[in-house]
């Protein structure tokens, strides 16, 4: 067990425990806050996978953008301590059961599939410049489409949220 | 003369063709100008129509002079391919022969005079220019009808004159009666036309596409026209079908009902269309197709004609509407012509058409003049206007004498010929004695009702003094045509001899020009031994008729009321016109409407029940109560039924659509899990 | 290659897709600018019409086969091609479609709500219809056939009369039912042809289609029976569109509820598609079966003629609460009557008959379109169509009266107007083969005359109904839509050869094919 | 070598995250909560992509896709939150049970 493996387990815990809390905590505000940890954990996983730029972007977008937005929405939309804000437990049983079954199958498939792994043990290279190259050459069209999507989302959100 | 004229002015074109196209085209030009810009022209553009018809008239006269000099063998024809498909051609062509030219002369003369007359008669009408447009259109169609060289072209113009007649009858369409009459005329004549069309179809089928008159005749003459249908030879059947067209157009029994109603139109129209030209088109058709009719078909024609003659004459006896009396008289006279053609008197029948056109147009125009002066058509409100309208009285008197068949007048010549022929026909075939009998009886009746008309209108005391005071003689544009037409009603005009029996011939054989120009297609003319009897008999009948009329309506020694009282049953039948209209109303229209309603409910009742039981037990409960027309069976069963099944099942299935996304997802997830479990188990 | 050359190379594609281009342009116009939208639509339909005139001009009249053919692989896996072309049969229909579409744009001026959506749908409809008439690939044909349904559904369902939803749904389901049958036949053709193809010309060749015995649902069908079943399925598919009794019940409803221009298109073009489909697909591919069924076809034609005429007459005699008294419905039923002549002419396999039938399709497009336009004119002014509700309009609106009279007389087959020629040709052709049916069918002429004249009398003759003292005469825009049609009706009534020349070579070849069977 | 980390571990991690996200989506009444579930699912997808990028493809295409996932997630959350706010303004609730206007 190398140091990397240890870090993997640590990051996995950082990801999963808040995610668990996020899903099962009755208070939506706590759920939102716990997402914070989960997103950080995923960023750590990215680092472990040698995706430095992705990890940074994860922190920036998810933690800095999306999470803040969600929290805003939570607070804007509701008296956060209100009684109705609590979710009842009963509703979680069936989804949980089904989720467990699904998880079982997924893990079974993951473990039984003969993965064709071609991992080399080179030290991970910085990816930023290569990603930039790829985005502006091979993936130019999706890149542009993504920008249009963002623009559309921007305009759409403004139009939707603008009070009449 | 005509040819040289055209060669001089239009040297590059074929003179005869251009003459004919001009003859036909001038009224059309008049129509087009009038319908589009007539209102804006000076005097409503009447001069355009009169001018154009005058050109046609002049051309016809020139043509006639040419014909007189070239003799009866004259024939000129030309044709163009009109519809050209593989293995199928239809041609359009012009055929000019003596019959055509005589018809042209009649049509253009009467048209021209009627146009002239209409200037006076219609001058106050708000739709003055439209009236002239329609008249021009009628002249165009009528000229086209006689110029046509094949049956199909003839049929086309045949329908077009029907249209013109419809438009002119319902010219004063604000009057519901006029609108109704126009419709009735068009539909009733169309029933005959359909018969004629079927005849054309039979001929077309039998001769493999020949519709040209001459080729049909030669085909028939060669005996190639075979085939039978229900024991009747197809040739006879085709002839009767063609004759049906003539029955409709010439208002023969049983399709005569439209003509009296057609008197709702303006009087000049009645004179032109419903007395002189269009109704004579049926006679023209029979003349034109004369060689085509088999003896059996001719017998049918003769019986129809003679029966119509007497039948219509009796109906004219009791009518008080001056125009309707004339209308029934027209029907009766057309019957006489048909009878003549039926018994084989080709020349005589056509001759009577020509003379009748002149004097009957004159009678109608005179009646129009009277109506114009008195503003009524009811003879009971007239009387004593002889002094006030001398020209009208004189001309009408001349025409009446002509119609009654009195010597020195044209009607005598032609009618006598027909009656003589029919008599000799009956002498040869005694079983057909009814034909001449009807003919002679109708002569007597004709004389009676015509003189009744004269006496009631012009003699006696004025019955309505207010109208009487208002009366005055018509202007010259109206009286001039009357004078010309009455002159044409004199025997001398047709025979060159005053009495009309050929005792003097002022200009040799050409003086009897109608007889001279018309050649019977086969030697069907009978020896004239019967003519003397016929002459005596018809004169006696006419004399009796006049005498009775004189006694009843002038001297009033016999009271008309008393006679009516005595023969109440007959009188009632006559005033109701034999209940023919009522019969049709009941038999045709009533049943037709019932059939309509029946068919309208057809889907509801019949298809419905059949389809219900057979097709869709699922939706049986929803279908049977459909009562109205639109909720049809097929709809309810197949279309709406399917819809209802879908809707009902949808209603059940819809319950799982809760609108809760999470439930959907849950079901989806469950399904995924289920599938996975199944996959691992299998 | 010059631009003109490029256009001429792909003339049919241009004709079909110019409305689509127009649709794209209209899509980007703001919806408030109704005028701009209308004129843009008019412009593109005009372009399409001009292109079809060019087609007509460049068309070789002596050539019986297909011209202006374009073929491109579309879905190669299933041997489906974008395959278009036109011959004498389709060119008349293309001309009719583009002309009527162009005129109908102007008749659509009275549409006030949802202008943009309306014209989008209308242009799509035109493209669909044109596509049906040029397709030579069964699959393509089917796609266009379905494409045209969609805008029609919305046009009736949104811009229609009081019962529009019901009418639209009914129209849609009816036609869809027919389409499904057509689909079955299409698949059968595809899988029984060697090699598998949707190409209509290929399928019409004698050796391509190898139908085998079939055993389905426990019913054993021999080759002959199976082919007949295919013919019947296909026939029902097309018969719904024609419509042939008893598949006609969608028609009066759809016509009555649709807005004026859509009724015009429905009557003028859509009804022709059924007959066109029969001539284009059923007849050449299944000639023996066509021959075998010809008596039934003629009989159905007779039923259409008589039944349509009587039902039209019932509009006058029945009161409104029993489904009568509607002018538009009267015309709709007269359409059934007129399509009966088409069917009768097609069923007899004679030169006169088939030429008359196709010419009748063309003429019916002109006359009925004109009648519907005319009904629309008065409906825009008085907002009802009750035959009893008028009276004496002839005094007030003489030009309008004249036009209605012209169209009615054309419709009842008056000589000198175009319908007469086609009807006469049909009768001349059919009498040779089925005299008894023809003689019964001539009864339709009389009834036709009766109900049209009766309707004229009710609406225009008699004393003027005081309600309409201020009724406005037809305006310039309406005249613009009506005058071309009346001129054409008159012109082809006097001289029909221009149209007959276009189609006679093609029809002659079709006829030899059928007579061989 | 059970604990030596390779592709499978990453995949299992992402699978757990995914299932947690799904459960969140299914069980939350609050629509913002559902949105959080969706974010978890998206994150799990991102992990999958990057892991495959490292272990299977050995190039950067997986990372590129991860980036696109961010883009989509960002747009989605922006639009979704806007819609939720709008609904809240109209109905004063974000409870998914009360939002069933789609049902006819």
Give CA–CA dist C101/C123, Å, rounded: 8
Structure tokens at C338: 């007129």
Q: Do chains B and D touch (3 or more CB pairs under 8 A)?
A: yes
Mean pLDDT of B512-541: 67
Residue A55: CATH number of its domain:
1.20.120.1200
Structure tokens at B261: 């109603």
Residues in Cβ contact with C336 at an 8 Å cutoff, skipping those fewer than 6 apart: C243, C245, C248, C251, C304, C307, C308, C311, C312
CATH number belonging to domain D29-97: 1.10.287.3510
* pLDDT at residue C397 in the model: 85
Same domain, C296 and C257: no
Binning pLDDT at 50, 70 and 90, where does residue B613 land? very low
Give CA–CA dist C49/C96, Å, rounded: 9
* pLDDT tens digits along C83-110: 888 888 888 899 899 999 988 888 888 8
Please name the residue of chain A whose CA is at the shortest distance from the CA of residue B678. Answer: A105
Any chain B CB within 8 A of the CB of D34? Answer: yes
Same domain, C262 and C323: no
Residue C317 pLDDT more than 80? no
Residue B392 pLDDT more than 50? yes
Give residues 652 to 681 of B whose Cβ lies within 8 Å of A: 666, 669-670, 672-673, 676-677, 680
Same domain, A95 and A131: no
Of the ranges B129-143, B262-276, B433-447, B584-598, which one carries the lowest mean pLDDT score? B584-598
Same domain, A94 and A130: no
Residues in Cβ contact with B630 at an 8 Å cutoff, skipping those fewer than 6 apart: C252, C253, C323
* pLDDT at residue B627 in the model: 34
Provide the shortest C-alpha distance from residue A135 to chain D (in Å).
Answer: 8
* pLDDT at residue D30 in the model: 81
Looking at beta carbons, which residues of chain B come within 8 Å of D25?
Answer: 662, 665
Looking at beta carbons, which residues of chain D come within 8 Å of A111?
Answer: 8, 12
Same domain, A60 and A134: no
* pLDDT at residue B612 in the model: 33
* pLDDT tens digits along B111-136: 888 888 888 888 888 888 888 888 88
Domain total in chain C: 2
Same domain, A25 and A92: yes
Same domain, C257 and C297: no
Binning pLDDT at 50, 70 and 90, where does residue B206 land? confident
Provide the shortest C-alpha distance from residue A14 to chain D (in Å).
Answer: 11
Same domain, C217 and C106: yes
- pLDDT exceeding 90 applies to what percent of chain C? 4
Burial bucket for residue C45 (CB in 10 Å: 0-12, 13-18, 19+): buried
* pLDDT tens digits along D39-72: 999 999 999 999 888 888 777 888 899 999 999 9
Domain stops at, among C284, C310, C327: C284
Residue C506 pLDDT more than 80? yes
Residue B622 pLDDT more than 50? no
Provide the shortest C-alpha distance from residue D24 to chain B (in Å).
Answer: 10
C313 vs C20, residue with greater confidence: C20
Looking at beta carbons, which residues of chain C come within 8 Å of B178?
Answer: 461
Same domain, C186 and C207: yes
Q: Enumerate the domain spans of chain D.
A: 29-97
* pLDDT at residue B569 in the model: 67
Mean pLDDT of chain C: 85
Q: Is residue A120 part of a domain?
A: no
B54 vs B594, residue with greater confidence: B54
* pLDDT tens digits along B212-233: 888 888 887 777 666 666 667 7
Provide the shortest C-alpha distance from residue A138 to chain B (in Å).
Answer: 36
Mean pLDDT of chain D: 84
Q: Is residue A109 part of a domain?
A: no
Nearest to B638 by CA among C250, A15, C425, C7: C250
Nearest to C250 by CA among C108, C152, C387, C319: C152
Binning pLDDT at 50, 70 and 90, where does residue B614 land? very low
Looking at beta carbons, which residues of chain B come within 8 Å of D96?
Answer: 660-662
Binning pLDDT at 50, 70 and 90, where does residue D19 land? very high
Q: Is residue A63 part of a domain?
A: yes
Residue D18 pLDDT more than 90? yes
Looking at beta carbons, which residues of chain B come within 8 Å of D103?
Answer: 657-659
Same domain, A87 and A137: no
* pLDDT tens digits along C430-466: 888 888 888 888 888 888 888 888 888 888 888 887 7
- Give the domain extent around A130: 126-164
DSSP per-residue codes, D28-93: -SBHHHHHHHHHHHHHHHHHHHHHHIIIII-SSHHHHHHHHHHHHHHHHHHHHHHHHHHHHHHHS-
* pLDDT at residue B31 in the model: 87
Give CA–CA dist B233/B211, Å, rounded: 19
Domain stops at, among A51, A80, A99: A99
Residue written as token pair 């027919």: C178
Same domain, A29 and A87: yes
Looking at beta carbons, which residues of chain B come within 8 Å of D97?
Answer: 660
Domain total in chain A: 2
Domain stops at, among A99, A114, A145: A99
Same domain, C248 and C390: no
Give CA–CA dist A15/C14, Å, rounded: 60
For residues C141, C147, C149 and C152, what is the CA-based torsion angle, rounded to 10 degrees?
-130
* pLDDT at residue B621 in the model: 35
Mean pLDDT of chain B: 77
- Give the domain extent around C404: 286-517
Q: Is residue A121 part of a domain?
A: no
Binning pLDDT at 50, 70 and 90, where does residue A42 land? very high
Please name the residue of chain B whose CA is at the shortest distance from the CA of residue D98. Answer: B660
Taking one residue from A and the other from D, the number of pairs with CB-CB distance under 8 angstroms is 228
* pLDDT tens digits along C34-71: 888 888 888 888 888 888 888 888 888 888 788 888 88
Residue D15 pLDDT more than 90? yes
Give CA–CA dist B635/B626, Å, rounded: 10
Residue B604 pLDDT more than 50? no
Same domain, C374 and C393: yes
Structure tokens at B314: 């009796």
Mean pLDDT of B344-365: 84
Looking at beta carbons, which residues of chain A come within 8 Å of B676?
Answer: 101-102, 105
Distance of CA C271 to the CA centre of its chain: 3
Binning pLDDT at 50, 70 and 90, where does residue B502 land? low
Residue B432 pLDDT more than 60? yes
* Identity of the highest mean pLDDT range in B250-264, B416-430, C200-214, D39-53: D39-53
Interface contact flag, C317 B596, Cβ < 8 Å: yes
Q: Do chains C and D touch (3 or more CB pairs under 8 A)?
A: no
Residue B259 pLDDT more than 50? yes
Same domain, A91 and A145: no
Domain stops at, among A82, A99, A116: A99
Mean pLDDT of A32-45: 90
* pLDDT at residue C504 in the model: 84
Mean pLDDT of B305-333: 84
Residue B233 belongs to what H/E stretch?
Answer: strand B232-233
Nearest to C16 by CA among C104, C105, C140: C140
- pLDDT exceeding 90 applies to what percent of chain B? 0
Binning pLDDT at 50, 70 and 90, where does residue B315 land? confident
Same domain, A94 and A151: no
DSSP per-residue codes, C201-246: HHHHSTTTB----EEETTEEE-HHHHHHHHHHHHHHHHHHHTT-TT
* pLDDT at residue C33 in the model: 82
Structure tokens at A66: 């999306």
* pLDDT at residue B336 in the model: 87
**DSSP three-state, residue C148:** helix
Neighbours, chain B (3 or more CB pairs < 8 A): A, C, D
Q: Is residue A5 part of a domain?
A: yes
Binning pLDDT at 50, 70 and 90, where does residue D16 land? very high
């Amino acid at each position: 067990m190398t140091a990397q493996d240890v870090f993997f387990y640590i990051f996995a815990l950082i990801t999963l425990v808040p995610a668990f809390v996020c899903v099962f905590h009755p208070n939506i505000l706590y759920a939102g806050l716990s997402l914070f940890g989960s997103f950080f954990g995923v960023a750590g996983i990215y680092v472990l996978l040698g995706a430095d730029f992705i990890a940074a972007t994860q922190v920036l977008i998810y933690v800095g953008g999306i999470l803040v937005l969600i929290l805003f929405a939570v607070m804007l939309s509701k008296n956060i301590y209100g009684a109705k804000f609590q979710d009842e437990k009963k509703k979680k049983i069936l989804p949980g059961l089904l989720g467990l079954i699904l998880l079982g199958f997924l893990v079974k498939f993951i473990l039984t599939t003969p993965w064709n792994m071609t991992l080399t043990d080179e030290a991970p290279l910085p990816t930023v410049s290569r990603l930039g190259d790829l985005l502006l050459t091979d993936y130019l069209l999706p890149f542009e489409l993504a920008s249009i999507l963002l623009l559309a989302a921007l305009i759409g959100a403004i139009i939707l949220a603008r009070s009449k | 003369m005509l040819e040289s004229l055209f060669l001089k002015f239009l040297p590059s074109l074929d003179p005869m063709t251009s003459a004919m196209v001009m003859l036909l085209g001038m009224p059309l030009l008049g129509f087009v100008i009038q319908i589009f810009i007539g209102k804006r022209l000076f005097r409503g553009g009447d001069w355009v129509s009169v001018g154009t018809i005058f050109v046609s008239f002049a051309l016809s006269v020139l043509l006639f002079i040419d014909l007189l000099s070239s003799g009866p063998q004259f024939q000129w024809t030309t044709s163009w391919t009109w519809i050209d498909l593989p293995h199928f051609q239809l041609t359009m062509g012009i055929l000019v022969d003596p019959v055509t030219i005589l018809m042209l002369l009649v049509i253009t003369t009467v048209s021209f005079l009627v146009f002239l007359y209409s200037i006076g008669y219609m001058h106050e009408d708000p739709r003055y220019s439209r009236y002239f447009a329609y008249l021009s259109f009628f002249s165009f169609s009528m000229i086209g009808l006689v110029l046509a060289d094949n049956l199909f072209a003839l049929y086309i113009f045949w329908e077009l004159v029907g249209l013109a007649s419809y438009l002119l009858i319902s010219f004063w369409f604000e009057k519901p009666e006029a609108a109704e009459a126009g419709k009735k005329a068009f539909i009733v004549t169309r029933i005959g036309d359909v018969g004629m069309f079927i005849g054309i179809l039979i001929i077309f089928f039998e001769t493999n596409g020949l519709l040209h008159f001459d080729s049909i005749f030669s085909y028939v003459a060669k005996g190639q026209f075979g085939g039978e249908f229900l024991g009747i030879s197809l040739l006879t059947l085709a002839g009767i079908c063609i004759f049906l067209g003539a029955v409709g157009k010439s208002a023969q029994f049983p399709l005569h009902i439209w003509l009296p109603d057609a008197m709702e139109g303006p009087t000049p129209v009645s004179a032109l269309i419903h007395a002189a030209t269009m109704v004579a088109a049926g006679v023209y058709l029979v003349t034109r197709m004369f060689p085509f009719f088999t003896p059996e078909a001719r017998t049918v024609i003769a019986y129809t004609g003679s029966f119509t003659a007497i039948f219509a004459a009796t109906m004219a006896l009791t009518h008080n509407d001056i125009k309707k009396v004339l209308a029934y008289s027209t029907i009766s006279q057309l019957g006489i012509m048909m009878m003549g053609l039926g018994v084989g008197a080709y020349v005589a029948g056509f001759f009577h058409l020509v003379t009748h056109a002149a004097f009957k147009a004159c009678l109608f125009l005179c009646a129009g003049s009277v109506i114009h002066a008195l503003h009524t058509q009811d003879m009971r409100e007239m009387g004593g206007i002889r002094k006030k309208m001398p020209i009208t009285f004189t001309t009408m008197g001349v025409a009446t004498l002509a119609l009654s068949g009195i010597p020195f007048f044209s009607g005598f010549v032609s009618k006598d010929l027909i009656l003589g022929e029919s008599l000799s026909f009956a002498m040869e075939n005694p079983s057909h004695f009814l034909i001449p009998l009807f003919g002679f009886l109708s002569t007597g009746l004709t004389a009676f009702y015509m003189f009744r008309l004269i006496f009631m209108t012009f003699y006696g005391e004025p019955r309505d003094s207010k109208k009487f005071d208002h009366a005055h003689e018509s202007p010259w544009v109206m009286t001039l045509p009357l004078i010309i037409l009455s002159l044409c009603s004199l025997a001398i005009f047709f025979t060159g001899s005053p009495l009309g029996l050929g005792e003097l011939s002022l200009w040799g054989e050409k003086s009897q020009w109608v007889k001279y120009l018309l050649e019977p297609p086969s030697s069907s003319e009978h020896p004239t031994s019967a003519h003397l009897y016929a002459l005596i008999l018809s004169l006696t009948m006419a004399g009796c008729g006049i005498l009775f009329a004189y006694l009843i309506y002038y001297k009033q020694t016999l009271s008309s009321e008393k006679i009516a009282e005595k023969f109440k049953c007959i009188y009632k039948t006559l005033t109701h016109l034999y209940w023919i209209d009522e019969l049709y109303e009941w038999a045709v229209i009533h049943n037709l409407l019932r059939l309509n309603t029946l068919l309208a409910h057809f889907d509801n009742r019949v298809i419905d029940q059949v389809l219900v039981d057979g097709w869709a037990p699922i939706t049986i409960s929803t279908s049977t109560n459909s009562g109205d027309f639109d909720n049809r069976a097929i709809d309810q069963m197949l279309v709406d039924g399917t819809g209802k099944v879908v809707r009902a099942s949808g209603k059940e299935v819809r319950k799982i659509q809760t609108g809760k996304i999470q439930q959907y997802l849950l079901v989806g997830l469950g399904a995924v899990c289920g599938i996975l479990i199944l996959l691992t188990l299998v | 290659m010059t631009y003109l050359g490029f256009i001429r190379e792909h003339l049919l594609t241009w004709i079909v897709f110019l409305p689509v281009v127009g649709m794209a342009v209209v899509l980007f116009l703001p919806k408030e600018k109704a005028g701009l939208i209308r004129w843009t639509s008019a412009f593109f339909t005009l372009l399409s019409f001009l292109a079809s005139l060019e087609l007509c001009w460049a068309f070789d009249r002596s050539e019986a086969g297909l011209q202006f053919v374009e073929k491109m692989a579309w879905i190669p896996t299933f041997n489906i091609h974008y395959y278009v072309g036109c011959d004498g049969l389709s060119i008349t229909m293309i001309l009719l479609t583009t002309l009527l579409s162009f005129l109908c744009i102007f008749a659509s001026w009275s549409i006030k709500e949802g202008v943009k959506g309306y014209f989008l749908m209308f242009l799509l409809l035109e493209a669909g219809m044109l596509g049906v008439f040029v397709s030579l690939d069964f699959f393509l044909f089917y796609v266009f056939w379905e494409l045209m349904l969609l805008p029609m559904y919305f046009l009736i369902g949104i811009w229609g009369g009081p019962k529009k939803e019901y009418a639209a749904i009914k129209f849609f389901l009816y036609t869809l039912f027919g389409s499904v049958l057509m689909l079955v036949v299409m698949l059968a053709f595809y899988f029984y042809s060697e090699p598998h193809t949707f190409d209509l010309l290929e399928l019409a060749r004698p050796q391509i289609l190898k139908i085998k015995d079939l055993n389905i649902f426990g019913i054993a069908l021999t080759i002959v029976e199976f082919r007949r079943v295919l013919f019947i399925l296909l026939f029902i598919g097309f018969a719904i569109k024609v419509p042939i009794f008893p598949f006609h019940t969608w028609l009066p409803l759809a016509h009555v509820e649709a807005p004026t221009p859509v009724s015009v298109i429905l009557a003028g073009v859509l009804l022709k598609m059924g007959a066109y489909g029969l001539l284009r697909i059923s007849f050449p591919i299944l000639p023996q079966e066509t021959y075998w069924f010809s008596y039934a076809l003629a009989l159905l034609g007779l039923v259409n003629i008589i039944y349509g005429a009587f039902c039209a007459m019932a509009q006058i005699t029945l009161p409104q609460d029993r489904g009568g008294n509607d002018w538009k419905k009267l015309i709709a039923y007269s359409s059934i009557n007129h399509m009966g002549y088409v069917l009768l002419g097609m069923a007899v396999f004679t030169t006169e008959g088939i030429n008359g039938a196709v010419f009748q399709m063309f003429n019916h497009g002109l006359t009925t379109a004109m009648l519907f336009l005319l009904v629309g004119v008065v409906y825009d002014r008085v907002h009802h169509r009750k035959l009893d509700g008028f009276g004496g309009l002839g005094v007030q609106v003489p030009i309008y009266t004249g036009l209605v009279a012209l169209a009615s007389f054309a419709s009842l087959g008056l000589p000198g107007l175009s319908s007469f020629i086609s009807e006469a040709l049909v009768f001349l052709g059919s009498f040779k083969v089925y005299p008894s049916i023809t003689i019964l069918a001539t009864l339709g002429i009389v009834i036709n005359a009766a109900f049209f004249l009766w309707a004229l009398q009710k609406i225009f003759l008699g004393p003027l109904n005081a309600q309409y003292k201020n009724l406005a005469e037809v305006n310039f825009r309406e005249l613009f839509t009506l005058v071309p049609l009346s001129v054409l009706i008159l012109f082809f009534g006097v001289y029909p050869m221009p149209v007959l020349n276009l189609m006679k070579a093609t029809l002659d070849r079709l006829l030899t094919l059928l007579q061989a069977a | 070598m059970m604990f030596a980390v390779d592709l499978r571990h990453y995949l299992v991690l992402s699978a757990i995250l995914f299932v947690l996200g799904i459960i969140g989506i299914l069980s939350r009444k609050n629509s913002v909560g559902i949105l959080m579930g969706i974010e978890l699912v998206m994150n799990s997808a991102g992990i999958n992509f990057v892991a495959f990028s490292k272990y299977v493809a050995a190039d950067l295409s997986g990372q590129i896709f991860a980036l696109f996932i961010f883009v989509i997630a960002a747009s989605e959350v922006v639009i979704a939150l806007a819609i939720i706010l709008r609904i809240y303004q109209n109905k004063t609730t974000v409870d998914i049970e009360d939002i069933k206007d789609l049902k006819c």
